[in-house]
Amino acid sequence: MPSVTRNVVLISGHYLGSKRRAGFHHLASAYRNLGWDVTFVTAAISSLSRLRGDYRFAYPVREEANRLVPVQERLTSFVLLTRTHPGNLRLAFANRLSTPLFARYARIPLGPLEERLREADLVVFEGTAALLLVDRIRCLAPRARLVYRASDDLRALRVHPLVLEAEARAIPLFDLVSVPTGEIADLLAPYGPVEVHPPGIDKAAFDRKTESPYGARPVGVFAGVSPLFDYESLEAAAELAPHVEFHVIGPPPRPLPANVSFHPELAFEVLVPYLQHATFGLLLFPEGYASLGQGNKIAQYSYCRLPIVAPTYLEADRPNVCGFAPGDRKSLGRALAEAERMPHSSTFAAGIMSAEELGLILAGEPQARETA
């Protein structure tokens, strides 16, 4: 460990205190474990977000807006709250008309965050409208290593075109562009060098012994808060396997067979036993989001040694994946039966990185390549 504490600024779309544990939450914990001083910035968030019912406004983002809020030792939260930010208005002409207004986001006041950026040794961006700030942050933090961790395909997320333009302009300014999948790498490669690094998870959390929240029946589990959820395949699975309990954590409930239980969003430490003690995991997403087959959920399921039932178009290339053709009940039935029979093998966890390992790679640490 270095004798002098190093400083990292993580710029994410998530709120640090959220129940949701996204990749940047794991990175924040990882850097603290590695001895870094962490500033977690929530951006972009604005009055436009609130009008759209943004879940982050369930947390004290307005009370904490635009000030450094100590959370724990060596962990600070900063909510970069603005009047507006580049958000997709759904109509092409509306997006064109809004571009001059939204372009002003590049000049928003950063307040006390500026000093943190000047002190930073590492700044890691997630794919958000905050990519419009890369030029300024490069000037504010000239000695910092700048990294873009592009966890998602922004095209699939249908962000405002201005954000896609900012992404393309910013890529040459980064010291590293890191992506979890080859598919995202192919999309970004025309703008500059890209490296593929799989998701890093909180291994320590999944290594802890916990009590099962389930009964004696086989259990299929889905965990994650996303508008991209395939209820139709879930309903078919519940009908095809009435002896299996299906637990869905995060997505809003719908009327489905009695062996389907919906749970609200859970804090990460409460969620962990649901994954550890399931019979198999579910990766039910609609077509058009193939990169989700190599994302954080599949890494967590695999580290918990779970077989995974997933549609074939997710391109989830792991030995524990039981694929099915969407809309084909026989195919889905075979996948469910295969997942229920499959032993929970330690080989499923092969190649899954810890968040600390990923954090070292992003920081450019030479030992990262040896441990990952």
Average pLDDT score over the chain: 92
Q: What's the average model confidence in pLDDT over 176-204? A: 94
Question: Does 1 fall in a domain?
Answer: no
For residue 280, pLDDT over 90 is answered with yes
- Which one-letter amino acid corresponds to residue 78? F
Which domain, by its residues, includes 149? 7-199+353-371
Domain shared by 180 and 238, yes or no:
no
* pLDDT for res 369: 44
Any domain includes 2: no
Do the domain assignments include residue 193? Answer: yes
User: Within this chain, do residues 90 and 193 fall inside the same structural domain, yes or no?
Assistant: yes
Taking residues 286-313, what's their average pLDDT? 83
Asked whether residue 154 is domain-assigned, the answer is yes
Could you tell me if 211 and 192 lie in one domain? Answer: no
Give pLDDT, residue 3. Answer: 52
Indicate the number of domains in the chain. Answer: 2
Burial 125-156 (b: 16+ CB within 10 A, else e): bbbbbbbbbbeebbebbeebbbbbbbbbbbeb
pTM for the structure as a whole: 0.89
Q: Are residues 164 and 281 in the same domain?
A: no
Over residues 89-129, the pLDDT tens digits come to 889 999 999 999 999 999 999 999 999 999 999 999 999 99
269 and 224, same structural domain? Answer: yes
Q: What pLDDT does 231 receive?
A: 95
Q: Is residue 124 part of a domain?
A: yes
103: domain CATH number is 3.40.50.11010
User: Same domain, yes or no, for 31 and 172?
Assistant: yes
Residues 333, 363: one domain? Answer: no
Percentage above 90 pLDDT, the chain: 80
258 and 127 share one domain? no
Please tell me whether residues 223 and 311 are part of one structural domain. yes
pLDDT digits (tens, 9 = 90+) for 47-60: 888 888 888 999 99
Q: Clarify whether residues 53 and 139 are in a common domain.
A: yes
Pick the closest to residue 105 from 150, 50, 163 (CA basis). 163
**Percentage of residues in the chain with pLDDT exceeding 70?**
94
d(CA 321, CA 261): 23
Convert the pLDDT of each residue in 123-159 to its tens digit: 999 999 999 999 999 999 999 999 999 988 898 888 9
**Chain length of the chain:** 372
* Claim to verify: residue 358 and residue 245 sit in the same structural domain: no
Asked if residue 16 is part of any domain, the answer here is: yes
Q: What is the pLDDT of residue 371?
A: 43
54: in domain? yes
Within this chain, do residues 236 and 141 fall inside the same structural domain, yes or no? no
CA distances from 265 to 20, 55, 168, 190, 252 (A): 7, 11, 34, 38, 9
Task: Judge whether 165 lies within some domain.
Answer: yes
Model pLDDT for residues 230-267, shown as the tens digit of each residue: 999 999 999 999 999 999 999 999 999 999 999 998 98
Over residues 77-88, mean pLDDT: 95
Which pLDDT value is given to residue 366? 62
Asked, as a colleague might, if the bond just before 44 is cis with ω within 30 of 0, I would say yes
